[in-house]
């Protein structure tokens, strides 16, 4: 199943509601499961982004739907990246014409 990395930045409202983190994560996991997505990991980070989420998803469209649903409450902004495993990367590298 394809992997995706989502970089999350909390809005001011998101920071104000951060105390409800566990409840929000349960809700996010349920919403993800409904779309066939597994949340592989959540990491609170320090730096330009506030959190990183690792997802296993059936498609980029499913991830877009999940992120848009989560962003609709105005508490996060996100950027999602397609991710390739080491093995997938080796296959890509081996197929290069150079």
- What's the domain range around 89? 3-94
Q: Are 81 and 4 in contact (CB under 8 A)?
A: yes
Say which CATH number the domain at 57 has.
3.30.70.920
Handedness of CA 29, 35, 36, 41 (dihedral sign): negative
Within the chain, strands assigned E span 3-10, 38-44, 51-56, 76-83
Going by C-alpha positions, the residue among 37, 84, 30 that lies closest to residue 64 is: 37
The number of distinct structural domains making up the chain is: 1
Per residue in 4-62, pLDDT (tens digit) is 999 999 999 999 999 999 999 999 999 999 999 999 999 999 999 999 999 999 999 99
């Amino acid at each position: 199943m394809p992997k995706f990395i989502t970089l999350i930045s909390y809005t001011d409202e998101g920071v104000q509601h951060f105390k409800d983190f566990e409840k929000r994560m349960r809700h996010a996991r349920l919403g993800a499961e409904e779309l066939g997505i597994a949340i592989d990991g959540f990491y609170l980070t320090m730096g330009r982004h506030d959190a990183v989420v690792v997802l296993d998803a059936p498609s980029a469209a499913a991830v877009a739907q999940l992120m848009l649903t989560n962003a609709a409450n105005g508490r996060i902004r996100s950027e999602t990246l397609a991710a390739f495993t080491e093995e997938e990367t080796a296959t890509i590298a081996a197929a290069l014409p150079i």
